[in-house]
């Protein structure tokens, strides 16, 4: 899995999704863009990919598209419309884009070019309040657990299988 990050100006979500789909098809890979303000770290995305692939291999996937299934796990949601909240948004947004399978290196380069991603590091630069709200984590819960916010988010991602 490759991850590229940066800030991009998204004028139209649908056309941007189409461009990313073309990159994925050309390089035979999965490309999924996520609002970086919701992604706590690389391990968050790695776990989402792992669990999405497991669901697909078992025939338990909700989405027909692997990238959308990864997004569902990254969001810890079974409802696609709810998961899209952490997907692409219009405007100047911090992004993390995962590229998995196929020619990852060439696809990652194409993503940077197509989205005109600047080189601002965004992976791990999440919005703490947004993450707490989106993943329904409280300060009390975090204080009670023996771990970090990243651990709590990965727990939510893993719990998606239990909630099916």
pTM of the model: 0.93
Give the start-to-end residue ranges of the domains of the chain.
2-163
- Mean pLDDT to the nearest integer, 120-136: 95
CA distance 143 to 149: 10
CATH topology of domain 2-163: PF0523-like (3.30.2380)
pLDDT confidence band for 160 (50 / 70 / 90):
confident
């Amino acid at each position: 899995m490759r991850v590229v990050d940066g800030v991009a100006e998204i004028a139209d979500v649908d056309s941007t999704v189409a461009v990313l789909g073309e990159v994925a098809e050309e390089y035979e890979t999965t490309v999924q863009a996520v609002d970086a303000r919701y992604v706590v770290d690389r391990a968050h995305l790695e776990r989402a990919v792992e669990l999405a692939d497991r669901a697909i291999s078992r025939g338990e996937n909700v989405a027909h598209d692997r990238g959308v299934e990864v997004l569902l796990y990254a969001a810890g949601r079974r409802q696609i419309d709810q998961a899209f909240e952490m997907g692409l948004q219009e405007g100047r947004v911090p992004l993390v884009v995962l590229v998995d399978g196929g020619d990852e290196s060439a696809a990652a380069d194409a993503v940077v070019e197509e989205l005109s991603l600047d080189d601002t590091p965004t992976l791990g630069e999440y919005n703490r309040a947004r993450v707490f709200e989106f993943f329904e984590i409280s300060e009390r819960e975090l204080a009670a657990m023996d771990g970090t916010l990243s651990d709590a988010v990965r727990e939510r991602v893993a719990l998606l299988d239990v909630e099916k």
